[in-house]
Amino acid sequence: MGDNKKIAALVIVISISLFYCWLYFFRDNEWMLTIGGNFFPIVGGIFILSWLIRAYRTVVGKSKFFWLLLSIGILFNLLGNVNWFLTLLTQKDLLTPESSFMLWFFAYLFYFIALIYKTNRLSSSFWGSPYLFNIAIFMIVVTAICSHFLIEPILHRANYRVEEMILFLLYIIIDLSILFVTIYLFYLSRENKERTAMLFITLAFFFQVFADLSFIYLEMSNGYIPGSLMEPIWFGSKLLIGFAAFFAKSTDEKVMKPTHIEAEKAESYIPYVSMFVILILVTYSYWGQLNAFSVGIIVIFLLILGRNRYIKRKNKVLMKEYKKLAYHDPLTGLRNRASFKEELTCKLKNAKLNNRVIALLLLDLDRFKVVNDTLGHQAGDELLQEAAKRLTRSVKLNASVYRLGGDEFIIVLDLKFEELSIQTANKIIEAFSVPFSIASHSMTVTPSIGISSYPANGEESESLLKAADAAMYQAKASGRNQFRFYNDELNQMMTRKMLIENELRLAIENNELILYYQPKVDVATRRVIGMEALLRWNNSKLGFVSPVEFIPVAEDTGLIVAIGEWVLKTAVRQNKDWQDHGLPGLCISVNVSVNQFRNSDFIKTVKETLNEIKLSPEYLELEITESIMQNIDESVELLKELRLMGVKVAIDDFGTGYSSLHILKELPIDTIKIDKTFIDDISINADRSIVKSIIDMGINLNLQVVAEGIEHEHQLQAITKYNCTYGQGYLFLKPVTANEFEHYVKSTR
């Protein structure tokens, strides 16, 4: 195709050059000029028609009809030239026959239909087009020029026959129509796959219209002679139409909006240039009475006024939409976080002036993540929408409901008395007690609500929001589906939590973390078969901090990944040191949090740690909790990678989470550890049955079973009775330092 384009371009350049040479050499021979003016368009027309037919056959889809219509137009044009050429040869008459004019006019009609068809394919809306104003201004100026220099003289000249007048006027009308649609098509095609083809089409019709209007003007002033320099312009315009066919593409894409900012900047000057041109023409032609130019400038002025009004109205609508998008949540229709912050600031100022109470009720939906992960995001979205409706119905007119993000909502109450917020909280809990019907599932989703108030818990929006957040988490920790007020106790908890977070960030650097070790034993022989590494923290300011207190903080802040990596490397290095100093090869268990397990570098970290310290993978066991089963597919892949490395995996705190027999048998694990809570109450029939069931299930699945938290002999006797092989707990040894553990192991050998 590339070679064909080059050949076609060469044909165009040579043919136009030969045409001008012909005109030059026969400039004094009117007969030869007229012959050349027909011969070149006829020969060129055959090439052009073949190019267009080729495009019609190549292109698929509805776009091919555009090239068919152009082909028909070129055929009529070719017939018009052939008709004139035959008239020249047979009648020796240099005048253009009217039949040729009619054939050319039909050609123009098909050009116009083709252009209309193409613009319709590219644009879904005409009146909403952003280009329309520029095109209208330009066309008003062109129409005014044509009206002044062509139409008015035609209408006022007495020596024209009616047929000639009508023909000239029809050509002017069809030319202006073609020019208008061509410019519109040029704008539309800039981001279309056929933009190159449409560019040549635009140039072709621009030159054709220019040549036509120039011909009419010269004909009226008796300045036109056959073989003038206008002839190759007509010829060249047709060649450009044919050349455009080489860039035809199969596309029906719509152009909805412009994207070329640079082009729009340049084109934005079109109305002003057009205004400048028409002002010059008005000055040139105005003699105290209305003419085409003065009417044109009035129309342009009215058009500019209309456009300004349209833009103002559109901007008003856009600003309204922007404000809605900026201050409203698109999913639920509630006001969003930005709106909450702005409006709360105003409400607090008014409350201070009028001595009123502002209450914040912050809530999130309990176990929303489980619904989202289980039924999908669409079901989660439906749940949020329904929750928003229930919240809106639960509050009074003096309340505002906002969605902060995720499943968090906040209600701002303007009250006389703080106690009135309790009524609203109770109404919300009551509204959520009715099951939701989501994705053909009936489910009960409850809210946990934290309440803070101005001025009791703060005077600024941030402090009030933090207080409500702390109260909400207290409500969750207390069993969910309830509300809690922020108080001094919560303030102390928040202060301590913040202090723990700040100190924990420096714990590794300050060498404050330490590992303790608790043995796992064979319950029949009391022989040590492994150990679990347990993290402890001794801070210079806080003293010994319980893992129950600082691990959740590490999880919330993301510090757990770095801390978990330190624990892994320290435990592996310690086990390697024990083996190097003569202790038997024991498997060390290291706890891994969900966040750490799902970290993208987790497998790489485990592999690099084992390679660096040179500990055999069989002496490392990673303990994970049942919560990994919320994303079972991803978890299974990671567990398979660990098994391929030779690392063992245990499910910790088994029986408290989401495990089922179906899922458990699919997991590539080695051990299950029975949660301590079941061992604590093993004397109770229900817990005894659960423990027995877990042990039986582990045995049937060929898994090792470890009972955690054994503190009394009767617990040991019970699990031994149920054939549990391994145990761990204070009955054997509490967690101790590395040196103490080493002495214990040596003493039991």
Q: Tell me 245's DSSP state.
A: G
Please give the mean pLDDT across all residues of the chain: 85
Q: Are 609 and 572 in contact (CB under 8 A)?
A: yes
User: What is the reported pLDDT for 258?
Assistant: 43
Question: Cα separation of 719 and 391, whole Å?
Answer: 50
- Same domain for 476 and 541? no
**pLDDT above 70 (res 289):** no
Q: Tell me 151's DSSP state.
A: I
Q: Reply yes or no: is the peptide bond before residue 455 cis, omega within 30 of 0.
A: yes
Strands (E), 103-167: none
Query: Which of 444, 470, 486 finishes a domain?
Result: 486
Of the ranges 15-24, 126-135, 388-397, 479-488, which one carries the lowest mean pLDDT score?
A: 126-135
Of the ranges 190-199, 220-229, 273-282, which one carries the lowest mean pLDDT score?
A: 273-282
pLDDT tens-digit map of 514-563: 999 999 999 999 999 999 999 999 999 999 999 999 998 998 888 999 99
pLDDT tens-digit map of 588-630: 999 999 889 988 899 999 999 999 999 999 999 999 987 776 6
User: What is the reported pLDDT for 255?
Assistant: 47
pLDDT tens-digit map of 410-455: 999 988 766 778 889 999 999 999 998 887 888 888 999 999 999 8
- Same domain for 120 and 166? yes
Please choose, from the candidates 200, 159, 153, 209, the residue with its C-alpha nearest in 3D space to the C-alpha of residue 180.
209
Q: Are 244 and 204 in contact (CB under 8 A)?
A: yes
- Within a domain: 6: yes
The structural domain count of the chain equals 3
- Same domain for 41 and 107? yes
Q: Are 452 and 469 in contact (CB under 8 A)?
A: no
DSSP codes of every residue in 132-174: HHHHHHHHHHHHHHHIIIIIHHHHH-TTS-HHHHHHHHHHHHH
Hunting for tokens 């024991």 — which residue is that?
A: 586
Expressed as residue numbers, the domain containing 197 is 2-127+140-258
- Give CA angle at 584 (579, 590), nearest 5°: 70
- Within a domain: 499: no
- Same domain for 100 and 19? yes
- Within a domain: 154: yes
% of the chain at pLDDT higher than 90: 42
- Same domain for 344 and 478? yes
Burial class of residue 326 in the structure, from the number of CB atoms within 10 Å of its CB (0-12 exposed, 13-18 middle, 19+ buried):
exposed
The pLDDT-based confidence of 260 (bands split at 50, 70, 90) is very low
User: What is the reported pLDDT for 276?
Assistant: 62
Q: Which residues pair with 357 in a beta bridge?
A: 415
Query: Which of 258, 280, 297 finishes a domain?
Result: 258
Burial class of residue 694 in the structure, from the number of CB atoms within 10 Å of its CB (0-12 exposed, 13-18 middle, 19+ buried):
buried
Of the ranges 337-346, 445-454, 493-502, 546-555, which one carries the lowest mean pLDDT score?
A: 493-502
User: What is the reported pLDDT for 259?
Assistant: 41
User: What is the reported pLDDT for 411?
Assistant: 94
Q: Tell me 487's DSSP state.
A: -
CATH code for the domain of 560: 3.20.20.450
Question: Cα separation of 43 and 34, whole Å?
Answer: 15
Hunting for tokens 């030319």 — which residue is that?
A: 175
The pLDDT-based confidence of 14 (bands split at 50, 70, 90) is very high
- Same domain for 254 and 150? yes
Q: Are 486 and 451 in contact (CB under 8 A)?
A: yes
- Within a domain: 328: no
Report strand pairing: 587-591 vs 648-654: unpaired
pLDDT tens-digit map of 712-728: 999 999 999 999 999 99
- Same domain for 631 and 710? yes
Query: Which of 438, 461, 486 finishes a domain?
Result: 486
- Same domain for 146 and 195? yes
CATH code for the domain of 454: 3.30.70.270
**pLDDT above 60 (res 254):** no
What does residue 131 show for φ and ψ, rounded to 5 degrees? -90, -15
- Within a domain: 392: yes
- Same domain for 217 and 70? yes
- Same domain for 30 and 112? yes
- Same domain for 482 and 535? no
User: What is the reported pLDDT for 635?
Assistant: 85
User: What is the reported pLDDT for 305?
Assistant: 66
- Same domain for 171 and 223? yes
- Within a domain: 498: no
- Within a domain: 497: no
pTM: 0.51
- Within a domain: 277: no
Distances (CA, A) of 470 to 348, 485, 551, 612, 630: 20, 9, 18, 43, 26
Residue with more model confidence, 229 or 212: 212
